[in-house]
Structure 1
Amino acid sequence: MPQKPTDKRLTLETDEPSLLFAVNELLATGGIDFDEWWKEFSTPPTNKIDLQEWTKPKFIDVTPKNKNNIGRWIKYFPDKDDENTFYRLSGTGRDLVHHIVAIGYEQGGSTGSVSGRNSKPPLKGFPLIELRFISADKKVGVKWIRCAGYTDNEKIAASKLAKLVTPADIKMWASKIKTIFGDTKYVWKKGKECLSYSGQIARLQGLEGYAYVRTKQDGIDLFTAILKIFDAVPDKDGFNRSESTSTTKYKKPTKEIIVVKEKVMPEERRPIADCEFDHAVLRLPLLKKPIPLVKRNVILYK
């Protein structure tokens, strides 16, 4: 009986190296050039509205150098600036593409105008409150929280899977936002550190994400204030803090650069800014336009 070859890959005669290479490449990639696909996937959208909510992804190839079996291993970051949120993926090029696309669908909300940036809406279909903050030099901060346990879909409410949103609920949320953020002139102290809030409790509260802050306590205060809208308190074990070890990565740009013969000043990444609460809106999955709730300390929803 002939001996089985020790190498799992196909072997051919020495005069057929090109065919061997082609077969092995097909097995390793699944028929998809992952690096070529990634170039297109990681290209910013041309639509200005989509670009506002877009985050640049990244991946790190962690395939062991002595790995002989098919495929590769990577660490995938949906947002390259959020070092805390990543996925370990493995497989052929086709497998990796399918994994990343599936993650995108999982994180996406049912309101097309809201992405996963700074907020990983865990409960698709639930209404969403958007809080916007702005600094004196027009730097903006945005936070979102899902109205967990509520719905604008009568069929879902009839099935007793969630409570149907009523005008009284909206008025109550608007009143609390005015008290918590408007009357106090709440300030989000944005900085270069990253504090994330995640876990099963955070997910069920409709608030799982991260914020750029100056200190850990600044971040805890921000998430605590947001949860007060629903009379909830944060899970103390749900917080994680991280900061870059680089001294130049998030340094404020001081020199212009040339882009297509034009001088431009690069935008500062993770700027230090005092962003005061500006306004809040409610987004309902079945309603195309947002419902204004509060502007500064004035309730807009009547």
Structure 2
Amino acid sequence: MTKINFQGSIEDVKKQIEQTIATYELLGNQTSIDFNQWFEGWENGFPEDIENRALGNYPVTGEKAWRSDANKKPRWREWSNKNGFIKGEYWRDRSVESESIPLSGTADKIIQHIHQLEYEGGGESASRNKSKAWPPMKGQPSIKLYFRGEGTAKGIITLVVMNKTDDPKVPLPSIDKSDLRHYAQRIKEQFATPNLYIWNKGKEILSYTNRWQGFDGQWWLCRNEAAGLALLTRLLAVLDLPLDRSKLRMSTAVDEAAAFPSNPPSVTVLGEPTPQDNERPLVDVTFWRAEINLAKLNTPIPLVERAQIVYK
């Protein structure tokens, strides 16, 4: 660790410290790695590195050359690059347009994460097992939105954050307080402005599967497709994510009244009549509060209470 010595009067030392901090903030995110140059090599299989590869699993030439299929090479689309902090979108396989993941961080951090994604996916020459190609969701930060209505009516929706982490072992940008404030602000905008959002539950189901965005087959009861889509759009907006309509599914019963009666008959259990709850009631539940759970903390962190941001 580099040590810096400051000398002079108290005022001189204060100025030296302030100047040092300013210099660090300006240059601290910079790296000697040229990300675009690295990615060009990664995209094409590092063709300039020929030595000692002929007998390995990633040869440059031959029948099983690495990155030989131009249609399946990885792809990168940069969104911004400010003071060495890069944001963009990464595809492991450019032929699968719908399967990308947003990445952000310094060049070395993004490279580390891309290697992690390739490892989790098994590499180009490995089996294209779908579960391996998906990013792991366990241990990722999760946001919970709570809704409540009259009587026992309630609802809980969980959002998994896939591009941040609080685990130092995971090669993702570290989640910080500014991220939490951003989530709180987005939740307020989507679910508490200008009025508290009302989720109209119904008998139909809208589902969405996109693990790159943190949705592993989540589904929500709704009155119709338009209402379900409106809810999902707000959820994605909290995480600043686009909607991929190819991942949407709508499920309805042929005879909803028979499948999910409003007043289901009692059933006999142990010789006694036992009343049954309505499995899919037509109820309205109103946004109540939101919190975030981090893997390395034992208690959730409140973000929003009704229309007020509580995380400062």
TM (normalized to structure 2)? 0.52
In structure 2, what is the equivalent of residue 176 of structure 1?
A: 186
CA contact (8 A) 2:264 2:277 kept: no
Distance in 2 between residues matched to 1:182 and 1:135, nearest whole Å:
15
For structure 2, the residue ranges without an aligned partner over 5 or more in a row are 1-130
In structure 2, what is the equivalent of residue 211 of structure 1?
A: 220
Structure 1 residue 155, shift from structure 2 partner:
3.0
Structure 1 residue 122, shift from structure 2 partner:
5.5
Distance in 2 between residues matched to 1:230 and 1:128, nearest whole Å:
11
Structure with bigger gyration radius = 2
AA aligned to 1:204 is W
Alignment of 1:154-165 (within 5 A): 154-156=168-170, 161-165=171-175
The alignment status of 1:197 with 2:208, answered yes or no, reads yes
Structure 1 residue 147, shift from structure 2 partner:
0.9
Deviations 1:191-238 (A, max 9, x none): 11111112xxx2111123111111011111111101111221211211
Alignment of 1:38-77 (within 5 A): none
**What is the percent sequence identity of the aligned residues?**
31
In structure 1, what is the equivalent of residue 146 of structure 2?
A: 132
Q: Give the total of aligned pairs.
A: 177
Distance in 2 between residues matched to 1:261 and 1:288, nearest whole Å:
45
In structure 1, what is the equivalent of residue 116 of structure 2?
A: none
Structure 1 residue 281, shift from structure 2 partner:
1.0
Alignment of 1:222-241 (within 5 A): 222-241=231-250
AA aligned to 1:203 is R
SS in 1 for 2:169: helix
Distance in 1 between residues matched to 2:254 and 2:135, nearest whole Å:
29
The alignment status of 1:243 with 2:243, answered yes or no, reads no
Distance in 2 between residues matched to 1:279 and 1:174, nearest whole Å:
10
Distance in 1 between residues matched to 2:196 and 2:274, nearest whole Å:
34
**For 1:273, which of 258, 264, 283 is the aligned residue?**
283
Distance in 2 between residues matched to 1:170 and 1:197, nearest whole Å:
24
In structure 1, what is the equivalent of residue 310 of structure 2?
A: 300
Which stretch shifts more, 185-194 or 248-257?
248-257
Structure 1 residue 144, shift from structure 2 partner:
1.0
SS in 1 for 2:140: coil
**For 2:162, which of 148, 155, 160 is the aligned residue?**
148
Structure 1 residue 256, shift from structure 2 partner:
4.8
Distance in 2 between residues matched to 1:240 and 1:261, nearest whole Å:
41
Which stretch shifts more, 253-262 or 177-186?
253-262
Distance in 2 between residues matched to 1:280 and 1:121, nearest whole Å:
25
Structure 1 residue 138, shift from structure 2 partner:
2.9
Distance in 1 between residues matched to 2:264 and 2:168, nearest whole Å:
54
In structure 2, what is the equivalent of residue 187 of structure 1?
A: 198
In structure 2, what is the equivalent of residue 38 of structure 1?
A: none
For structure 1, the residue ranges without an aligned partner over 5 or more in a row are 1-105, 107-119
Distance in 1 between residues matched to 2:138 and 2:160, nearest whole Å:
9
Deviations 1:16-35 (A, max 9, x none): xxxxxxxxxxxxxxxxxxxx
In structure 2, relative to structure 1, the CA distance for the partners of 1:145 and 1:122 (3 Å cut) is farther
Question: RMSD over aligned Cα, in angstroms?
Answer: 2.2
AA aligned to 2:307 is N
Moved over 2 A (4+): 253-265
**For 1:167, which of 169, 177, 181 is the aligned residue?**
177
CA contact (8 A) 1:174 1:294 kept: yes
Distance in 2 between residues matched to 1:171 and 1:264, nearest whole Å:
48
CA contact (8 A) 2:260 2:279 kept: yes
